[in-house]
């Protein structure tokens, strides 16, 4: 008996149902996936007394050493210098016309370092006046506008280093506020 087979027919595999099932599985797994709570939480301490919904808060008085940085003589670059004030009492002027460590002479670098060392000693004296426990003392570096806004970055870092070398690691910065956008200026003008 001869069995005659016809010509093979071309069959197509319909992929649409399989793709639908794969996408449904992907959606199911995405929706049922749960992240660890630790991975989603970011530890941060945002100020509650500022922002769109300010809430008054009662702050505990903490021992604070505040160093203010002012830029003097901005009009004349050769005579410009940064003035450091510690708790509005002691003043320490950095060398006039400071161009940076790589462009200065050794004697001017020595004067700059001596002034920063004097700031460090003044910070250490304040620490001693507060009882010598640096964990409870907060350092604050402030560059108030308008004259503080143009303080060179290196001068602020030198003060930060003085705090760190004195043992104070909790240091806050306050500088020139972020400029307003045109829409924010218009909203303020409308008030």
Q: What is the DSSP string of 99-113?
A: --GGGS-HHHHHHHH
Which tokens go with 57?
């808060």
Sheet-wide strand order for 63-72: 90-93, 81-86, 63-72, 137-142, 171-174
Measured distance CA(84)–CA(90) in Å, rounded: 8
Task: Read off the pTM.
Answer: 0.57
Measured distance CA(39)–CA(43) in Å, rounded: 11
Residues of the chain whose pLDDT is less than 50?
A: 59
Break the chain into its structural domains and give their ranges. 64-174
Share of the chain above pLDDT 90, in %: 7
pLDDT computed for residue 148 by the predictor: 56
pLDDT computed for residue 91 by the predictor: 86
pLDDT computed for residue 163 by the predictor: 84
Please report the sign of the dihedral spanned by the C-alpha atoms of residue 133, residue 134, residue 135, residue 136: positive
pLDDT computed for residue 24 by the predictor: 95
Strand partners, 78: none
Which tokens go with 37?
């709570």
Secondary structure of residue 14 in the 3-state scheme: coil
């Amino acid at each position: 008996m001869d069995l005659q087979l016809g010509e093979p027919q071309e069959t197509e595999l319909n992929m649409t149902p399989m793709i639908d099932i794969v996408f449904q599985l992907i959606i199911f797994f995405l929706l049922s996936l749960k992240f660890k709570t630790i991975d989603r939480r970011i530890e941060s301490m945002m100020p509650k007394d500022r922002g769109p919904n300010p809430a008054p808060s009662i702050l505990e008085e903490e021992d604070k050493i505040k160093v203010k940085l002012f830029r003097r003589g901005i009009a004349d670059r050769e005579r410009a210098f940064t003035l450091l004030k510690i708790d509005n009492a002691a003043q320490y002027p950095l060398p006039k016309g400071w161009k940076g460590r790589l462009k200065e002479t050794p004697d001017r670098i020595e004067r700059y370092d001596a002034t920063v060392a004097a700031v460090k000693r003044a910070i250490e004296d304040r620490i001693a006046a507060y009882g010598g426990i640096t964990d409870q003392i907060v350092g604050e570096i402030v560059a108030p506008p308008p004259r503080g806004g143009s303080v060179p970055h290196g001068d602020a870092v030198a003060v930060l280093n003085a705090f760190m070398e004195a043992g104070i690691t909790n240091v806050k910065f306050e500088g020139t506020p972020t400029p307003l956008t045109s829409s924010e200026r218009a909203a303020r003008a409308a008030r």
